[in-house]
Structure 1
Amino acid sequence: MLKQQTLDQLADMRLKDMLEAYRRQQEQPSILELSFEERFSLLVEYEWRARRNRHLQRLLKQAHLRIPACIEDIDYNCPRNLDRKLIARLSTGEWLQQHQNVLISGPTGVGKTYLSCALGNIACRIGYSTRYYRVSRLLEELVIAKGDGTYSKFLSDLKKIQLLILDDWGLNSFTSAESRELLEVVEDRNQQRSTIIASQLPVDHWNQILTDPTLADAILDRLVHNAYKISIKGESMRKLKAQTPDQSI
């Protein structure tokens, strides 16, 4: 009776993973060799790990990362000017705690998106909310939000995201209207949240695609001066990896 009561109470408290672990313990005669503290510790750890895993899966789902990339799978064998020590430092997540940015530049195919998503994956694993956007898609959603009256809420939701990833930055020059939208986004995040930007253009050339000089200065001031800069070089990794099933870049 006591055993069933315990099972019912665990279910009522929605401790389903602890409940499953408790049932498994009851099926293992050897569990009696452990002390009460050891058995209880195993139950708590099982529930804790399961909750952490569910939380991670929610963060990854909400992040909409373009590639299921992992920092551990980055290929350093091909010469791309990647600083292994810097990547290791970024993988600790300290820059997220300090609300710093990461600016990644390089030609097509060298792994900018992969590195951005790998850092996004790290952020999720640490417990930070993350969201990936292609810049063109973000601008489209901002226009739609203005049209349907949800603009303020959309900006507020963006501000809450602890890591915002903006990919394909500067494929086309930004109009003055688009520059103002981007300024709204980066201003809200300045010194409060982290942003990753991936672009084919070197950071020093970003002012050329922001056609309004005043807005360009304002945007770059909020992005560049509190950022790690990674300039990737070399051959297209897509071509080099085309003959292998490995997804690491």
Structure 2
Amino acid sequence: MLTHPTLDRLNALGLHCMAEAFADIEAADEAGSLGHAEWLALLLEREASLRQDKRLPTRLRYAKLRQQACVEDIDYRPRAASTAHCLPSLSRDAGSTTANLLICGPAGLDKSWLASALGHKACRDNRSVLYQRVPRLFDDLALARSDGRHPRLLRGLGRVDLLILDGVDGLTSTAS
């Protein structure tokens, strides 16, 4: 088998991790012990793993989450008993259903942190997420309406799997 042309072809096709795995297998002399299906499965698994690893940072960057939070970091002890039993199922199902979620309460209860944690979990579950502060979103919508980008902005908001709107309690001070 011609190794260098195969490596060049894999790199030209953008299958860089597959090319690296191909070179590793050739160098380790495992080629004789693997069948064709096993060989191909190993190459495909390495490429799929690399692409999945690249996808998460891209989704997190697009989500623009306000805080670095993970659902695994939630401390259930200080929470009320009524809230503590539903958070594990909520984090497990984050982004997997089409239901809406409203997190409300007085200031200082870490609602933004919890929303960011659920958004991070949805990104890890291969869902598109967008975090927006409501006052900023309304300013962007007003500006987009005046310069003709309004339909495109609304399509972009509707395209994400999970849209997190934060700062709703600030509406009372700006609406008056």
Residue equivalent to 2:150? 151
Rounded Cα–Cα distance in structure 1 between residues aligned with 2:171 and 2:18: 53
Query: Where does structure 1 differ by over 3 angstroms across 4 or more consecutive aligned residues?
Result: 79-85, 95-98
User: Counterparts of 1:90-239 in structure 2 under 5 Å?
Assistant: 90-93=90-93, 96-173=95-172, 175=175
Q: Which 5+ residue runs of structure 2 have no aligned equivalent?
A: none
Deviation at 1:155, TM superposition (A): 1.1
| Deviation, structure 1 residue 32 | 4.5
**What SS does structure 2 have at the residue aligned with 1:105?**
coil
Seen in structure 2, the aligned counterparts of structure 1 residues 46 and 111 have a Cα distance that, compared at 3 Å, is same
Counterpart of 1:11 in structure 2: which amino acid? N
Q: 1:17: Cα distance to partner?
A: 1.0
2:67 matched to which residue of 1?
A: 67
Change (3 A) 1:41 1:80: same
Name the SS of the counterpart of 2:166 in structure 1: strand
Residue 34 and residue 92 in structure 1: after superposition, are their counterparts in 2 closer, same or farther (change >3 A)? farther
Structure 1, unaligned runs of 5 or more = 176-210, 212-249
- Checking the alignment, whether the CA contact within 8 Å between 2:135 and 2:171 is kept in structure 1 is no
After superposition, the C-alpha distances for 1:39-59 in whole angstroms (9 at most, x for unaligned) are 332221111111112222211
Higher strand share: 1
TM-score normalized with structure 1 length:
0.63
Cα distance change on mapping 1:62 and 1:108 into 2, 3 Å: same
Q: Give the alignment's TM-score, normalised by structure 2.
A: 0.87
What is the CA–CA distance in structure 1 between the aligned matches of 2:46 and 2:118, rounded to whole Å? 27
Distance 1:108 1:96, change over 3 A: same
Spell out, residue by residue over 1:188-230, the C-alpha distance to the aligned partner (whole angstroms, 9 max, x if none): xxxxxxxxxxxxxxxxxxxxxxx8xxxxxxxxxxxxxxxxxxx
Match of 1:18 in 2: 18
- Distance, in Å, in 1 between the alignment partners of 2:152 and 2:8 is 42
CA distance in 1, matches of 2:167, 2:124: 24
1:28 corresponding residue in structure 2: 28
Q: Which amino acid counterpart does residue 165 of structure 2 have in structure 1?
A: L
The number of equivalent residue pairs is: 174
CA distance in 2, matches of 1:135, 1:38: 51
